[in-house]
Structures are given as C-alpha cells and as structure tokens.
Amino acid sequence: CKTTVMDTSDPGVTFDHEGNCQFVQMYRTREALEVLRGEEGRKRFELLASRIRRRTGIDCICGVSGGVDSSLVLLRAVQAGLRPLAVHMDNGWNDELAVSNVEALVRTLGVELHTEVLDWPTFRDLQRCFFLASVPNVEIVTDHAICATLFGLAARTGVRHILSGSNLSSEAFGPTNAGHDNKDWTHIKAIQRRFSSGSLRAYPHLSTVRFASHILLSRVRFIPVLNYLDYNRDLAKAELSAVCGWRD
C-alpha cells in the first residue's frame, strides 16, 4: 500500500487506482465522523464530563492495563473532575511493570481500584483450546473477559459510562483475517466444547442478549476519550511519567 504497511499477506486486501488499500479510505471516513481535534475536541470532552458527573459515588468506569492509552484516559478523567473506578484484569500473564504502573496511577490520583483476577485453571484451559483451534485471534479470551467485567461492574454500580482507551489514532483497523469479534460468546463456547471437557462457569462472559440489554436497556456506553483529545503517544508518556511516575 502506498500509505500504510498493508500488503497482500492479507488475502482480503484491495487497492485503488492511487495504490492505496481499502483501509486508507476507511480510516479517513471514520476520522471525519469520530475524531474531534483542538478546541472542538476539548469542548466535546468537557460536555461529556459534565453529563457523566454524578452527585455522589463513582461517575464512570475506566479499564486500566498499565499501558499508555488507558493510563492517559484515567488521568484525563480525574483532571476533568470525575470520580472513576479503575478496573484492571489479571489473567495470569500480568507484567510486573504494568501492575506497578496501575498501582502508581491509582495511588497518585486517589482512585479506587478493582482488580478482576481470572480463575487460572479455567483461563489456561480456554487459551489452550484457542491455540489448538489455530484461530487468528487467541486474545479473544482475554478481551471478552474484560468486556464482560466492565459491563458487569457498570450494572452493579449503576454507572452508564465506560471510558475507553480505544482510539482511532493508534488502532483504526486490523487485517481482514484478524478473527471474530471478541464479544462472540458463541464462537468461544464452540471452540471450548471442541477441545476441552472443562467448565466455563468461573469465566466472566457476556451473551449477545445480555450485551444488547446493557446497550439498549441500561444504556451503558463506551466513551473513546482519546478521540476528543489531540492524542500524541510520546507526549502522553512524558506527562504520565512526570505526574504519576509511570514507566514505559
């Protein structure tokens, strides 16, 4: 591709007359619809913060991995006067530096932390099933558990807003053969049944019906905060390091 790193190793890639793959136009279309920069973005974020803010208790939920994207979202939420609940997922593969970053963030910012520790035998067996299945995206089993945990906590606390580190700048698209959506519980169950006789009762999950209920009835929303800020990863790392002792 003339603009991106995509090439024909992705069997679904196509090119236009300018030599650009289909993802270039996809990005530009999404950017025009989803990304606000400068003063316009700042005002949108301030308006969102005013709508999210509650009189008492936590205002919102922030998933925090210890990486730069989610860490900056937590910092911006606190700077906007919100009271977030930080949620961290421990799937048994936690990196010590990431955990140290999460602890530094919540301590410095005065934020409550909920750590969801997955049942290791269950999760290990499920990961093994996905490796045996040879599907492209073995991270589905972690991402699905994160999604289920965030929506479950939103339901328990009555919070309607989940602030997300997902952003168009650093993760606009993936290859066409990247695998199923991580919310596909039917896909997860089918692979587990084929390669294991174990139980998934200890694994946090979200059925299609339950997900629809959260979105349509409870009106829980993911807010892509970084799409409304002039997001620069290098500047974000420097700020997080200076303010919270965050390490890359």
pLDDT values of the chain reduced to their tens digit, one per residue, 248 residues: 999 999 999 999 999 999 999 999 999 999 999 999 999 999 999 999 999 999 899 999 999 999 999 999 999 999 999 999 999 999 999 989 999 999 999 999 999 999 999 999 999 999 999 999 999 889 999 999 999 999 999 999 999 999 999 998 888 888 888 878 899 999 999 999 999 999 999 999 999 999 999 999 999 999 999 999 989 999 999 999 999 999 99
What pLDDT is recorded for position 176? 86
At a CB cut-off of 8 Å and minimum separation 6, what does 35 contact? 41, 168, 169, 227, 228
How far apart are alpha carbons 154 and 85 in whole angstroms?
Answer: 10
Which pLDDT value is given to residue 78?
A: 97
Say which residues have a Cβ less than 8 Å from residue 164's Cβ, sequence separation at least 6.
Answer: 63, 73, 222, 223, 224, 225
Rg (CA), the chain: 19
What pLDDT is recorded for position 169? 83
**Cβ–Cβ under 8 Å, residues 151 and 95:** no
CA–CA separation, 248 vs 240, rounded Å?
9
List, in sequence order, every residue forming a beta bridge with 162; answer none if it has no partner: 61, 222
Give the position of tokens 């024909």: 8
The dihedrals phi and psi of 98, each to the nearest 5 degrees, come to: -60, -45
Residue 90: partners with Cβ closer than 8 Å, 6 or more residues away? 115, 116, 117, 118
101, 71 contact by CB (below 8 A): yes
For residue 178, what pLDDT is reported? 81
- Alpha-carbon gap, residue 14 to 96, rounded angstroms: 41
- Residues, the chain, total? 248
pTM of the model: 0.91
